[in-house]
Each structure stands twice: as structure tokens, then as C-alpha cells.
Amino acid sequence: MRKKFAGFSVIIVALFLVIFIINTSFSRKYSSRIELDFSPLAASAYVDGHRQKPGVVRVAPGKHTISVRLDGFADEQKVVSVKKTETMYVGLSLLPNSPKTTNWYTAHPEDQRIAERISGRNTDSAVNKALELEPFIKELPFIGPGFSYQVGVGATNSNGRPTIVIHAQSDEAIADAKQWIRSMGYNPDSMHIIINPDQEIDTN
């Protein structure tokens, strides 16, 4: 009886060991996560072609394609690159493109609430990314003495880096604006700066 019990114990230990090895291997391969959020909830969402529910999806590090679609709405797709052990938020809200779905969000308050949450989180993510790429923007907007110049933030460039916009009344004021940037501990020569965009003068 003891021998049978001992044999059974060995099998149980071996089984747990196999499960542990499998789980460890899976965790190492799929060490990244995508926090998937979408609206409407009736939509179909896919990560690399595999249908997913809202929530955390474990993925391997690298590029992944997220797509969301629903009849009566414009499809949305986003390609992201996730680093090892990183958890990335991806929120997509579909826009109605049919007369039957024009008032969808008004008629479905839960989907409206989710869409608002997605909008807020995407805005926060965009701001955080912009600050990471160009920390100087936290000092903006700034108006120089006597309104001789103004320094603000423009659209992002092709690399996702924010553009610094200077409105100035003269070349001297432009020089003063750049000197102010230096006085704040930043190098204007390393920035993408547009001078008086209404006059289509670009620098750096």
C-alpha cells in the first residue's frame, strides 16, 4: 500500500513539475501584455487575427496588429510595438458610418461611457509620450516681455515629436525666444521649431 502511495506521489510531483515548466516557458515567450479596450462592446476585436474580449492579452514582445469592427461603423486598426515585460494600453472607439448607427452612443450609454474613458486614456498617453520625447513642453505656453514673442506647442512631426512654435515680431525677438529656451536648460538647436507658421517660415 505504501509503495502504491509513493508511486502515486511521484506521479503527482512529476505532473506539477511539467505544468510548472510549461507555464514558465509560456510566461517567458509571452512576457508582454496589451490592455485591450474598445467600444461599442458589440464589436469584434482581434489581436493578430485572434478574436479577443476587452481586458489584458498576453503577447510576445514585438509588433502586433489590433483591429476592431462592427457593421454600421468604420473599422479601426492600430499597429503597436510592445517591449519585453511591457503592458501597453490600446483603446479604440468606432465611429458610426450608417444612418442606422448615427445615434448609437446616445442610445447606448454604457458604450458612450467606455468611449469617453478610451478618449481620456488616449489623451493621457499622447501627453505622456510627448513629454517623454520633448520634456521642454511642460514649460509652455510662454509669453515674452511686452508680448514680443510667444512660445507654444504645435503638431507632432513624423517621428511623433512635438513641434515648438515661436510667434515673434522681429529677428531680435526670435533670438530672445531661443535664448529663453536655453535659460530653461534646453537646446533649441535640437528641437523642431517653426517660426511664425502663418508666414510659413520653418527652422531646425
107 exposed, middle or buried (CB, 10 Å; 0-12, 13-18, 19+)? exposed
What is the distance between the alpha carbons of residues 87 and 46, in angstroms, rounded to a whole number?
17
Residue 75 is classified by DSSP as -
**Do 98 and 74 touch, CB atoms closer than 8 A?**
no
Q: Percentage of the chain with pLDDT > 90?
A: 74
What is the distance between the alpha carbons of residues 32 and 20, in angstroms, rounded to a whole number?
19
Residue 41: phi and psi, rounded to 5, are: -65, -20
User: Terminal CA-to-CA distance of the chain, rounded, Å?
Assistant: 84
What is the distance between the alpha carbons of residues 61 and 82, in angstroms, rounded to a whole number?
5
Q: Map out the domains of the chain with their CATH numbers.
A: 31-129 (2.60.40.1120), 136-203 (no CATH)
pLDDT at 198: 78
The DSSP annotation for 193-204 comes to EEE-GGGTEEE-
Segment holding 166, helix H or strand E: strand 162-168
The verdict on pTM exceeding 0.85 is: no
Number of H helices, E strands in the chain: 4, 12
Residues found in the chain: 204
Closest CA to 75 of 55, 46, 95: 95
Q: What is the pLDDT of residues 120-151, one digit of tens each?
A: 999 998 888 899 999 999 999 999 999 999 99
Q: What is the pLDDT of residues 101-126, one digit of tens each?
A: 999 999 999 999 999 999 999 999 88
Q: What is the pLDDT of residues 45-71, one digit of tens each?
A: 999 999 999 999 999 999 999 999 999
Mean pLDDT, residues 154-164 taken together: 86
**Do 66 and 90 touch, CB atoms closer than 8 A?**
yes
What is the distance between the alpha carbons of residues 95 and 119, in angstroms, rounded to a whole number?
13
Q: Strand ranges (DSSP E) for 5-148?
A: 32-39, 44-47, 50-52, 55-59, 62-69, 76-82, 87-93, 142-143
Q: How far is CA 174 from CA 40, 90, 109, 154, in A?
A: 48, 40, 50, 17
Q: List residues bridging with 37 in a β-sheet.
A: 91
Q: What is the mean pLDDT of the chain?
A: 87
